[in-house]
């Protein structure tokens, strides 16, 4: 089964992967992105602390054995000012005392290499729920965040001013990421409050989507054969 169908897109988290091994780091990134997580990476603890100064993450995946600043030192520094962000530790050492030490200095969960991808994703989601993250109410698409709870859209963390109809179009299409929707279905979902004429409102819909593209980016919403619109996971 394709991994894209294993995880519902609407439970979305922003993850920071800290690992000095290039292949493993990129593999974890790809697997998390297939689970519809937004993922950033760092090659050691120093780079990770720099990223944390400018961004917030729903969870951190931390390799314990790294150069310059290893996982132990990073975790100790992180917990001096951040006791909330969940940290899942990765290590090749399965000794009980090492696990206990990781928990003692602030880890929230632990996986021993090699690990199963499905278990990693499941543990990340569990950490998100345990931390009270409302991930299901935020959808990340590239640099766009759709905040369902507050009915707003952010680009690179900055609020984008949208009309009510523009937001409804984005919210509707984001419910079906990767699945093309007909003009008729969008009109029914967005202009449901009155009778609408497809011939008249089709032009209105096209104008709204054109404006959305200008406010966000040109290919945010893709047109297929002039009959369907779709938002793809970028």
> Does position 9 have pLDDT exceeding 80, yes or no?
no
Task: Give the separation between CA 145 and CA 138, rounded to whole angstroms.
Answer: 7
Kindly state the average pLDDT of the residues 133-161: 75
Among 4-18, 64-78, 135-149, whose mean pLDDT is lowest?
4-18
- Whether the CB-CB separation of 92 and 69 falls below 8 Å is answered with no
Domains present along the chain, CATH in parentheses: 3-133 (3.40.50.2300), 142-230 (1.10.10.10)
Q: What is the pTM of this model?
A: 0.56
Higher-confidence residue: 18 or 55?
Answer: 18
pLDDT above 70 covers a percentage of the chain that reads 85
Task: Give the separation between CA 58 and CA 16, rounded to whole angstroms.
Answer: 8
Q: What is the mean pLDDT of the chain?
A: 82
Give alpha helix (H) positions in 22-116: 22-34, 45-54, 71-79, 96-104
Give tens-digit pLDDT for 65-90: 888 888 889 999 999 888 888 999 99
Residues 6+ apart with CB under 8 A from 45: 18, 66, 68, 69, 70, 71, 73, 74, 77
Query: Parallel, antiparallel, or unpaired: how do β-strands 38-42 and 14-18 relate?
Result: parallel
Among 44-58, 72-86, 181-195, whose mean pLDDT is lowest?
181-195
């Amino acid at each position: 089964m394709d991994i894209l169908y294993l995880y519902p897109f609407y439970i979305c988290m922003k993850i920071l992967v800290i690992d000095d091994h290039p292949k493993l780091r990129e593999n974890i990134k790809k697997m998390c992105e297939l689970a519809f997580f937004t993922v950033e990476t760092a090659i050691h603890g120093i780079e990770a602390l720099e990223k944390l100064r400018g961004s917030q993450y729903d969870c951190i995946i931390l390799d314990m054995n790294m150069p310059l600043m290893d996982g132990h030192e990073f975790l100790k520094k992180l917990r001096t000012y951040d006791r909330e962000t969940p940290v899942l530790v990765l290590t090749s050492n399965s000794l009980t005392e090492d696990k206990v030490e990781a928990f003692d200095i602030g880890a929230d969960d632990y996986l021993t290499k090699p690990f199963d991808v499905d278990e990693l994703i499941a543990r990340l989601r569990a950490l998100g729920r345990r931390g009270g993250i409302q991930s299901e109410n935020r959808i990340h698409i590239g640099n766009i965040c759709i905040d369902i709870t507050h009915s707003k859209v952010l680009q690179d963390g900055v609020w984008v001013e949208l009309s009510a109809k523009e937001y409804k179009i984005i919210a509707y299409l984001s419910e079906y990421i990767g699945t093309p929707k007909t003009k008729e279905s969008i009109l029914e979902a967005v202009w449901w409050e009155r009778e609408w004429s497809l011939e008249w409102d089709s032009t209105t819909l096209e104008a709204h989507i054109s404006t959305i593209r200008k406010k966000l980016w040109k290919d945010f919403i893709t047109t297929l054969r002039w009959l369907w619109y779709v938002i793809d996971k970028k």
